[in-house]
Each structure stands twice: as C-alpha cells, then as structure tokens.
Chains A and B, each alone.
Chain A
Amino acid sequence: MSVLEKTLVGSRRYWLWIACLLLVALAGFLYYLRQLSQGLVITGLSRDVSWGLYVAQFTFFVGIAASAVTVVLPYYLHDCKQFARVTLLGELLAISAVTMSMLFIVVDLGQPARILNVLLHPQPQSVMFWDMIALGGYLLINLVLARSALNVAHEHISPPAWIRTLSIVSIPWAISIHTVTAFLYSGLPGRTYWLTAILAPRFLASAFSSGPALLILLCFVARKLTHFDVGREAIHKLAVIVAYATAINIFFLLTEVFTAFYSEIPDHEVAFAYLFVGMGGDHHLVPWMWLSFLLTLFALSLLLVPKWRTDSRLLIVACLSVFVSIWLEKGLGLIVGGFVPSPLGAITRYSPTLAEWGIVCGIWAIGALVTTALYKITFSVWEEN
C-alpha cells in the first residue's frame, strides 16, 4: 500500500503532467458518454467498415504489451545483466498497454453493459474468447511480477523463488497474446488482406520493433526527468533489437507484396492497391501508408549504422519514426485494409470522427497515467535506495 503513496508526492511539473492527462481522459470520458447515449453512430464506422480506430488501437497496444518479452527473455533466459533495470520498466509498460487494449475493446462494444456475457457464456470456438483469457492472464502475470519487484526494492527483501518461474512463463505467454490477436483476423475466410499465415509473424515483428522503440524513448525521458538511468548498454542492446525487428518487419511486408502482385490474383491485390494507390476515387489513406513505409525505411537506415544507432539524438529520431510508422501500419492500415474493398467490392471511405479521436486520446491519456504512476513508484523506490 505504501508504494502506491509514492504517486502522490511529486514536483509541480509532475502534477501539471497528471492534470493534463486527467483533462484529456475526462474529455474522452465525456465523448464516451455521448457514445453510450447515441450509439456508435458518432464514429466514422459504417456497415462496410464495421471496425476502425478502436479495434486498430487495441491491436497496436497488444503488440506493445507483448514486446515486454524482448527484455524479459534476455534477462531471465540469457542472464543479460544489463537489462536488470529496464526489465521492470518493460513489465510496467505491458500493464498499461494491456489496460489500454482492454479499454479499446470496451469502447468499441455496442452493448458494453453486457460485456460479462463473455464470461457467463464462454465460447472456446471463438478466438475472441482465447484473446480475453490470454490478455487477462498476461495482465495478471505482469501485475504480480511488478508488485513483487517493487516490494523487493522497497522493503529490501530478497526476491521470492517463484518470480523467476513466473517471468519465464510470461515469455511464451507474451508471444501467445499477440499470436491470438493475429488469429482474430487471419482465420476469417472473407477478408483476403488478413487471410495470410504470415499475419501472426508480422504482428510479432512489428510489436518487437515498436515496443522496444517506445521503451527506449521512455528511458530517455526517465533519464532527463529523474536520475534513473537504465544504462547505456541496455539502451544499445534494445536499439539492436529494434533494428533487427524493423528489418524483419519490412521483409515480411515485402514478401506479402510479392505474393499479391506476382500472382496477380485480384482478390489478393485489391487491398494493397486500395491502401497504397487508391481506388474508386478514394485516396485518403494513400499518403499515410507511404509515410509509414518511408518512415520505417528511414528508421532502419539510422538503426543499421552503429555510429548512428549509438548517437542518442539519432536513436530518438529512429525510435519515433519506427513507432509512428508501425502505428500507421497497424493502428490504421491493417483494419481498414480488411474491410475495403467490401465482400461485394464496395469502396467505403472511413475517417474517424472527432468524437472517435476524443475517446481514443482519452484512453491514451489513461494509459499514460498508468505508466506515469507505475514509473513514478519505480523511480521513487529506486531513489530511496
């Protein structure tokens, strides 16, 4: 209980940040009240594009949550001592990422009051059932691990033996949460953009690229605002992970493009054509998809050259580029590409409305609040020692 009190002690800057986040969260909540009252008609969704920003954000942040494995695995399985501090930060980030994912699902529901039906009437043949199990379990695992780690640091006790076992369990579990999320899409016979075996590997690659990138950025913020330093070596190792994952992600994208366009099967080509060239007079996503692609190439070039990768400012630019690029690809392109063209060939334009953005920003703010609170506790406990 006392570690939580650390979130109530802070500088002016800290409280200003909290106040801003609370305001954004409040705005999102008010927009959500409007959505509860009027229905999802206040979003830009339609009969043809029935999933949009909410589900896309859910997918993206499950990826961020899964990326904790990129620090947990080296630390626990390969005794990578440099990751001693950053591992906890990764697990805490996973907690806020899973929380955000779950909130995105809740706001996407047409009848959220009935959400307990998922528990009251479980359906093992539905991938969504397993996604709930996987995400719920992962949240629980990380909460237990985080609480234990913070108590160990705060009360100067030795870590219990089961922490290692649970951390190792979290490794395949992290892989499974993002695989199951990919399976939500890749088993649907009518959605050709998603009906590909490589969707799950693509999800993992983009998660291991964007997640550690975010973690690196957070470490830089921590170093700037507090005295908490995860260490140069940890950041360098993370940067290498981002480099490899980004390269693999681009490779996977190109293999998809090859299959679609060399086979010239219309059903396989159309989604890519809509997203990257435009179709039926609708080109509004084209610049964003190309921006995503160019950003990731740009980021890769920065990350491949050791001299640039080890330069803090260039690394920050690269991480920001990777994060934005994958956000555009997964947090926007992926979902719309599955729905346009529709099963009957219709091109329906999807643009999120202001209310939709408001709710999304509100959930981002809640995620930032959770991250801030958890990191604040960590830094305070560390500074005490």
Chain B
Amino acid sequence: MKMTRKGFLQLSGLSLIAIAAKKMGARKMLRGAAGGSASEKREKTARWGMVIDLQKCRQKEGCNRCIKACHSAHNVPQFADRADEVKWVWKQPFEEVFPFGQTQYTRELNAGLPVLLMCNHCDDPPCTDVCPVNATWRTDDGVVTIDFHRCIGCRYCMAACPYGSRSFNWQDPRAAIPTVNSDFPTRSKGVVEKCNFCEERLARKLAPLCVEACEEKALVFGDLEQPDSEIRKLLRSRFAVQRKPELGTGPSVYYLI
C-alpha cells in the first residue's frame, strides 16, 4: 500500500495522541488507590466553626497576638508592598466589613472597631466550585482546604471568594518570611493560600493557634453540629452575625458585635 508523506504524518500524530491518552489514563487509575494507609478513618465531627467577640477583641488596643501566632507558625510571608501581601488572618475597621455599620447615625458606636477577618470556611463555598483542578475543596468536617501541590495558580478561587479571604504568592515567599518554622512547610510562588483553620492542629485535637493565642478569649472555636458545645451555647445566648449572609455561602465564622 502506497502511503503519502501527509498520510504518514497524520498517522504518526494520531498514534502519539493515542499513546499519550493511554498513558494518562493508566496513570490516573494507578493513583486511584492510595494503598498502605492505616485504616484509621478521619473522625467525622460534623462542622468546625468560630465565634469572634468583637467587644472582647477591642479590649487590648493594637493587639495582634492571634495574627502573629498564625503567621509565624504557618510561615506566612510579610511583604512591604501592599499589592503583594499574603495574609491568613487580619483586621479591618467595622465600617469596611459590615455595611450596616455605615450610616451616619450608627457610625459613632462602632467607628474604627477592629474586626478580625479570615477565611469563613463556608458551608457552600463558591471558591471550591470554580477550581478547575480540585486543588481546593471543603472537607467532611467543614474546613475549606488547599492542596498546594495541585494548584495551578489560575486564581479563579480568588475571584470567586466574596470575602477577599485568599492571597496569592506573586513571588517566592521564602525571602519574606521573618523566621521560618521548619515544623510547617512554606508555599512556593504561583499558588493561592489562606487560613486553613489549623487543620494540622485539629488532627491532633488542638485548637487553632489564633484561638489559643487570644488572651481575652475573644475567639471561641468548636463543633457547630454538637448542640452542647461551647460555641453552640454562645450562639444560643447572643445575637451573632455573619459576613454577607445574603449570598448563600453559609459562613462558619460568626461575629458578636
């Protein structure tokens, strides 16, 4: 059979594509089973949440203990340029966080009141819906987590988050980390990061670092699904608000004004 040069090239091209597809398919099947793991199942506590008491938080002016504890333990870089900043937990004035505090009649009461902000670990997060590679997802116990190995740095999750909770590593963060904690990885450039509810501590039945660091006990952390947990008792006794509840995201972080 006589074959033209064009025919030969077409056949080679199609063969290469077929071989590549087969390789990718086979690799995917091999990865499916992560063998050798202990049969210890992740304890299914239903849902982690946090209540932040803003009045207790404002007791000590200029206090940043929670932020320092989190950022130093998690190797969060500090950049001078606001454009590049990476932050897992931070503070902003009340008027900027809660629109109903903005009228001229209510402004006086809470003007400048610092509000601690972090990822809300939503029940129905828009950020996890949009990730094209499943590098971010909501775990069974309500933590919205990131796989830094898989993230392609497209920043779609940053566009999707209605709260501005996510940061991107525009450059290699290592040079900007004051003191590296070698017990926790850093991140590389080109990936998104945010508060992880101290997942690594939750696995050891420890409370998040910010909760532990707060001397005023302004942060209460616990299982929202347990009716007699401290957090549920608090939510039954005081009126708490969430950020932008009308969006239907179901934040797990509540604020006592």
Chain A positions within 8 Å of B, measured between CB atoms, are 1, 38-41, 43, 45-48, 50-51, 105, 108-112, 114-121, 123, 125-129, 132, 184-185, 188-191, 266, 338-339, 342-346, 348
Establish whether residues A190 and B161, one from each chain, have CB atoms under 8 Å apart when the complex forms: yes
Q: Does residue B205 face the partner (Cβ distance < 8 Å to A)?
A: no
Interchain CB contact under 8 A, A123 and B168: no
Q: Which residues of B have CB within 8 Å of A343?
A: 161-164
**Min distance, Cβ B189 to any Cβ of chain A, angstroms:** 4
Contacts of B192 in A (CB 8 A): 110
Give the docked Cα–Cα distance between A331 and B80 (Å): 30
12 residue pairs bridging A and B, Cβ less than 8 Å apart: A39-B170, A45-B170, A110-B192, A114-B152, A116-B24, A117-B135, A120-B133, A123-B131, A128-B130, A128-B154, A184-B156, A188-B130
Is B190 part of the binding interface, using a Cβ–Cβ cutoff of 8 Å?
yes
In the assembled complex, B96 has its CB within 8 A of some CB on chain A? yes
Given A41-B171, A189-B249, the answer on whether A51 and B133 have CB atoms closer than 8 Å is no
Q: Does the CB pair B129–A348 fall under 8 Å?
A: no
Instruction: Report chain A residues within 8 Å CB of B96.
Output: 344-346
Using known A-B contacts A108-B154, A189-B247, determine if residue A50 contacts B159 with beta carbons closer than 8 Å. yes
Chain B interface residue bracket vs A: 35 or more
- A190-B162, A345-B96 given; A47·B84 CB < 8 A: yes
Chain B, range 141-160, C-beta contacts under 8 Å to A: 150-156, 158-160
A46 touches B83 (CB 8 A): yes
Contact of B159 among A51, A110, A119 (CB under 8 A): A51
Instruction: Report the minimum CB–CB distance from B33 to chain A (whole Å).
Output: 16
When distances are taken between beta carbons in the complex, the residues of chain A under 8 Å from B152 are 109-112, 114-115, 117-118
**3 closest Cβ contacts across the A-B interface?**
A110-B153, A190-B162, A110-B190
Could you say which residues of chain B place their CB within 8 Å of the CB of A348? 83
Within the assembled complex, what's the spacing in Å between the Cα atoms of A345 and B247? 17
When chains A and B are docked, how far (Å) is the Cα of A129 from the Cα of B248? 23
Q: How far is the CB of A213 from chain B (nearest CB, A)?
A: 29
Contact mask for chain B residues 183-224; partner A; CB cutoff 8 A; 1 contact, 0 none = 000001111100000000000000000000000000000000
A190, B134: Cβ atoms closer than 8 Å:
no
CB-defined contacts of A184 to chain B, threshold 8 Å? 156
Q: How far is the CB of A356 from chain B (nearest CB, A)?
A: 12
Contacts of B130 in A (CB 8 A): 126-128, 188
Q: How far is the CB of B58 from chain A (nearest CB, A)?
A: 19
- Chain B residues with Cβ below 8 Å from A112 are 152-153
Please name all residues of chain B whose beta carbon is closer than 8 Å to the beta carbon of A110 when the two chains form the complex.
Answer: 151-155, 168-169, 189-192
Chain B residues positioned under 8 Å from A344 (CB to CB): 92, 96-97, 117, 163-164
* Residues in chain A near residue B82, CB distance under 8 A: 46-47
Partner of A123, one of B6, B99, B132: B132
Q: Which residues of A contact B154 (CB under 8 A)?
A: 105, 108-110, 128
Number of A-B contacts (CB under 8 A): 147
Is B169 a contact of A39 with CB atoms below 8 Å? yes
- Closest beta carbon of chain B to A10's beta carbon, Å: 23
CB of B28 within 8 A of CB of A120, answer yes
A121 touches B158 (CB 8 A): no
Shortest B152–chain A CB gap in Å is 5
Other-chain contact of B190, A109, A118, A342 (Cβ < 8 Å): A109
A342's partner among B99, B135, B164, B171 (CB-CB below 8 A) is B164
Contact B28 A39 (CB under 8 A): no
A118 touches B169 (CB 8 A): no
B2 at the interface (CB under 8 A from A): no
Determine if A188 and B170 form an interchain contact, defined as CB atoms under 8 angstroms apart.
Answer: no
Would you call B170 and A40 a contact (CB within 8 A)? yes
Chain B residues closer than 8 Å to A116, beta-carbon distance:
24
Task: Establish whether residues B158 and A39, one from each chain, have CB atoms under 8 Å apart when the complex forms.
Answer: no
Instruction: Tell me, rounded to whole Å, the shortest Cβ–Cβ distance linking B81 to chain A.
Output: 8
> A185–B160 Cα gap in the complex (Å)?
9
- A162 vs B105: C-alpha distance when bound (angstroms): 70
The answer to whether B150 touches A114, judged by C-beta atoms less than 8 angstroms apart, is yes
Q: A338 near B159 (CB under 8 angstroms)?
A: yes
CB proximity of B22 to chain A, nearest CB, Å? 14
Q: In whole angstroms, how far apart are the Cα atoms of A51 and B157 in the complex?
A: 11
B85 at the interface (CB under 8 A from A): yes
**Considering the chains assembled together, what is the distance between the CA atoms of A237 and B160 in angstroms?**
41
Report the separation of the CA atoms of residues A109 and B152 in the bound assembly, to the nearest whole angstrom.
6
Q: Which residues of A contact B1 (CB under 8 A)?
A: none
**Distance A339 CA – B130 CA, assembled complex (angstroms):** 17
Find out whether the CB atom of A39 lies under 8 angstroms from the CB atom of B171. Answer: yes
Residue of A nearest to B164 (CB): A343
In the assembled complex, the Cα of A266 lies from the Cα of B160 at a distance in Å of 20
- Taken together as a complex, chains A and B put the C-alpha atoms of A344 and B99 apart, in Å, by 10
Chain B residues contacting A39 (CB-CB under 8 Å) are 169-172, 189-190
Assembly CA distance A123 to B150 (angstroms)? 13
Q: Does the CB pair A132–B132 fall under 8 Å?
A: yes
Contacts of A121 in B (CB 8 A): 133-134, 150
Q: How far is the CB of B85 from chain A (nearest CB, A)?
A: 6
CA distance A62 to B85 in the complex (A): 32
A47 to B6, CA, bound (A): 50
- Chain B residue nearest to A129 (CB atoms) is B132
Instruction: Report whether B83 and A47 are in contact in the complex, using a CB–CB cutoff of 8 Å.
Output: yes
For B92, list chain A residues within 8 Å (CB): 344
How far in angstroms is the closest Cβ of chain A from B10? Answer: 10
Do A118 and B133 touch across chains, with their CB atoms under 8 A apart? yes
Q: Which residues of B contact A45 (CB under 8 A)?
A: 83, 170
Interface string of B71-83 (1 = CB under 8 A from A): 0000000000011
CA gap between A38 and B92 in the complex, in Å = 30
Q: Are A109 and B133 in contact (CB under 8 A)?
A: no
Q: B195: shortest Cβ distance to chain A, in Å?
A: 14
A116 to B20, CA, bound (A): 12
Contact A50-B249, Cβ < 8 Å, known A40-B190, A110-B191: no
